[in-house]
């Protein structure tokens, strides 16, 4: 019986750990409104969606309530129309109609935006991309085309099962590439293969010119492409800023030949996986401080792109005391040199100076099984009934003892009782640091790791308490820098895919760094020039969209 209880406890902690990691045409071709670059036809089994019109959903339709709410149920809109598209060619006419009728338009991918950028009281037209989800080889560009509505797990399955390769994207299975990619996009392979945008070759974007003319542009990373800056802006410049991306084209910079099997990285064949679990209620402030600092110090010391430990990827999740779980996960590419030793050494380092875990378990998984397990056993990241608030910080160094004590203080508060509150520490560095800070729009290339603050709850009656917890914890941790992680020697700003409206509010951001400094650092003026060229009327906008210069 005791053995049965221990097995059940391990499964519970494994599920909790997975929940935490789920933790936003040719170069130069300018096309007329309503026309589209003719990509190679997807396989016949996909049908020909261009022959069918987009579906229009209005307030009288039964499905309307499900079409106007974000995954985060704090945000609900009341547009006159939701257009469910299933082909890139359907998008330009919808944008043209919205422009001519002066209607505010937003775009839904997977619905995971942490703020009200898609669903708000001003929006009048929503384009829903979720049925536009094909993945196929495009020989004219010698790249893998992925339509913007494809969710990450479907992308991973198609790429791996068809060609044995992967894009190094995020962990949460139901995030859509349309929202994931333009914010930079990171995931389990970040230290081994970099960010997803490090493998982005081109974007196809529907834009609105100064006269209101709608055009579809394909922008590539080719140095000679006159639209290269539009490609660059989509390598971390955030979503909803420049136009509607219809599809992304991926080919790694070092790829050669025309065999699609060799255009993108091959994932590990197998991963070695380790889980250590503690109960926060049995840990002292000294224990949690040591865990948090071990995580920060290790990642700061192993940030280099050629460091042997680039194959080690780890998360640390610390939940509120009403939940109690503190989970350390680590995995290593089983094919890396000395893989088992790398894993063992890392886990030993993390446990050094900390009370013994309740249990530790090691196992291994085939790559796709690992991606599916960590992506789908993720109730908090995929629950469509919860309300939420998230914050982020890129970090270059370990949190100080004072900051770690503040983390412990807020996780052990008794004035709030929410088992869905947690802090999640996630890896950076490795291959990510091999790219220059201006080579892509996402500038945080010298960060060693990233932290997310997350709280989710069910009832609107609990909004005030949970928002207060999130803000108070975050502001106290960064009290010395105005309540936010300003770019300096220790912290490095915020992750735009974890959008946080508070950093635009002087009540919560009392630093000299504006919201765009935190998201984009010195890349912001360049993004503004892209905005001026491709969206000069500021048609695409939200509360934290790139501003015209």
Strand order in the sheet with 200-208: 30-31, 214-220, 200-208, 244-250, 143-147, 135-138
- Rounded to two decimals, the pTM is 0.92
Residue 5 has a pLDDT of 38
pLDDT tens digits, one per residue of 372-418: 999 888 778 888 999 999 999 999 999 999 999 999 999 999 999 99
pLDDT tens digits, one per residue of 233-269: 999 999 999 999 999 999 999 999 999 999 999 999 9
CA separation for the pair 530, 528 (Å, rounded):
5
Closest CA to 205 of 518, 540, 440, 446: 540
Residue written as token pair 């504006």: 514
Topology agreement, domain 30-44+52-266+527-534 and domain 270-523 = no
Q: Which residues of 234-247 are buried (b: 16+ CB within 10 A; e: fewer)?
A: bbbbbbbbbbbbbb
Residue 382 has a pLDDT of 85
**Greatest CA separation found in the chain?**
74
Residue 47 has a pLDDT of 52
Closest CA to 162 of 257, 261, 256: 261
CA separation for the pair 337, 192 (Å, rounded):
13
3-state helix, strand, coil in the chain (%, to 5): 35, 20, 45
Q: Which residues of 267-301 are buried (b: 16+ CB within 10 A; e: fewer)?
A: bbebbbbbbbbbbbeebeeebbbbbbbbbbebbbe
Please provide residue 380's backbone torsions phi and psi, each rounded to the nearest 5 degrees: -70, -40
Regions of the chain short of the pLDDT cut 70 = 1-51
3-state SS assignment for residue 250: strand
CATH no., domain 30-44+52-266+527-534: 3.30.465.10
CB-count exposure of residue 454 (10 Å: 0-12, 13-18, 19+): buried
Distance of CA 190 to the CA centre of its chain: 12
Other beta carbons less than 10 A from residue 465's beta carbon? 15
For residue 545, the 8-state DSSP code is P
In three state form, how does the secondary structure of 376-410 look?
A: HCCHHHHCCCCEEEEEEEEECCCCCHHHHHHHHHH
Residue 379 has a pLDDT of 78
CB-count exposure of residue 222 (10 Å: 0-12, 13-18, 19+): middle
3-state SS assignment for residue 34: coil
Domain boundaries, the chain: 30-44+52-266+527-534, 270-523
Other beta carbons less than 10 A from residue 110's beta carbon? 23
Residue written as token pair 């494994």: 14
Element (H, E) at 533: helix 524-534
CA separation for the pair 154, 46 (Å, rounded):
14
Query: What angle do the packed helices 2-21 and 367-376 form, to 10 degrees?
Result: 90
Q: Which residues contact 22 (CB under 8 A, 6 or more apart)?
A: 171, 172, 173, 374, 375, 378, 380, 381, 382
Q: Say if CB 244 and CB 312 are below 8 A apart.
A: no
Q: Say if CB 128 and CB 61 are below 8 A apart.
A: no
Residue written as token pair 């996780």: 411
Q: Say if CB 9 and CB 369 are below 8 A apart.
A: no
Please provide residue 325's backbone torsions phi and psi, each rounded to the nearest 5 degrees: -70, 135
Please name every residue paired with 449 in a beta bridge, in sequence order, or none if there are none.
Answer: 395, 427
CATH no., domain 270-523: 3.40.462.20
Task: State the virtual CA torsion across 35, 40, 45, 50 in degrees, nearest 10.
Answer: 10
Please name every residue paired with 329 in a beta bridge, in sequence order, or none if there are none.
Answer: 275, 315
């Amino acid at each position: 019986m005791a053995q049965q209880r221990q097995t059940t406890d391990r499964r519970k902690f494994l599920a909790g750990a997975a929940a935490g990691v789920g933790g936003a045409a040719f170069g130069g071709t300018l096309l007329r409104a309503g026309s589209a670059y003719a990509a190679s036809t997807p396989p016949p089994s996909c049908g020909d969606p261009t022959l069918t019109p987009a579906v229009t959903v209005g307030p009288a339709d039964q499905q309307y309530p499900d079409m106007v709410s974000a995954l985060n149920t704090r945000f609900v809109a009341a547009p006159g129309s939701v257009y469910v598209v299933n082909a890139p060619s359907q998008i330009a006419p919808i944008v043209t109609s919205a422009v001519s009728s002066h209607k505010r338009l937003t775009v839904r991918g997977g619905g995971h935006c942490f703020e009200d950028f898609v669903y708000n009281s001003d929006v009048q037209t929503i384009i829903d991309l979720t049925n536009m989800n094909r993945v196929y080889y495009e020989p004219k560009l010698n790249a893998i085309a992925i339509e913007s509505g494809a969710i990450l797990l479907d992308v991973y399955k198609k790429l791996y099962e068809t060609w044995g390769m992967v894009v190094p994207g995020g962990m949460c299975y139901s995030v859509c590439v349309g929202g994931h990619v333009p914010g930079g996009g990171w995931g389990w392979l970040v230290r081994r293969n970099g960010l997803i945008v490090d493998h982005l070759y081109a974007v196809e974007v529907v834009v609105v010119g100064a006269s209101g003319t709608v055009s579809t542009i394909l922008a590539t990373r080719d140095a000679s492409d006159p639209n290269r800056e539009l490609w660059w802006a989509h390598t971390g410049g955030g979503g909803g800023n420049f136009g509607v991306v219809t599809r992304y084209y991926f080919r790694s910079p070092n790829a050669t030949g025309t065999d699609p099997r060799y255009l993108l990285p091959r994932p590990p064949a197998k991963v070695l996986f380790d889980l250590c679990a503690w109960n926060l209620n049995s840990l002292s402030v000294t224990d949690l401080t040591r865990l948090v600092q071990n995580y920060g110090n290790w990642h700061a010391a192993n940030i280099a792109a050629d460091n042997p430990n680039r194959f080690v990827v780890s998360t640390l999740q610390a939940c509120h005391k009403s939940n109690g779980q503190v989970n350390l996960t680590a995995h290593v590419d089983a094919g890396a040199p000395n893989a088992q030793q790398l894993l063992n050494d890392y886990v030993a380092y993390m446990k050094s100076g900390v009370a013994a875990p309740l249990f530790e378990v090691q196992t291994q998984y085939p790559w796709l099984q690992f991606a599916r397990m960590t992506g789908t056993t993720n109730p908090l990241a995929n629950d469509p009934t919860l309300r939420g608030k998230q914050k982020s910080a890129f970090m270059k160094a370990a949190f100080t003892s004072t900051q770690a004590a503040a983390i412990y203080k807020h996780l052990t508060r008794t004035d709030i009782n929410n088992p869905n509150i947690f802090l999640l520490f996630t890896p950076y560095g490795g291959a990510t640091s091999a790219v220059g800070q201006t080579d892509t729009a996402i500038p945080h290339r010298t960060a060693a790791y990233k932290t997310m603050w997350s709280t989710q709850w069910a009832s609107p009656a609990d909004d005030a308490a949970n928002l207060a917890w999130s803000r108070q914890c975050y502001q106290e941790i960064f009290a010395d820098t105005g309540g936010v992680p300003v770019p300096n020697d220790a912290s490095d700003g915020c992750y735009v895919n974890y959008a946080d409206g508070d950093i635009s509010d002087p009540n919560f951001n009392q630093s000299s760094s504006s919201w765009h400094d935190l998201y984009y650092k010195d890349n912001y003026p360049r993004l503004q020039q892209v905005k001026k060229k491709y969206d000069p009327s500021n048609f695409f906008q939200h509360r934290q969209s790139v501003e015209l210069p």
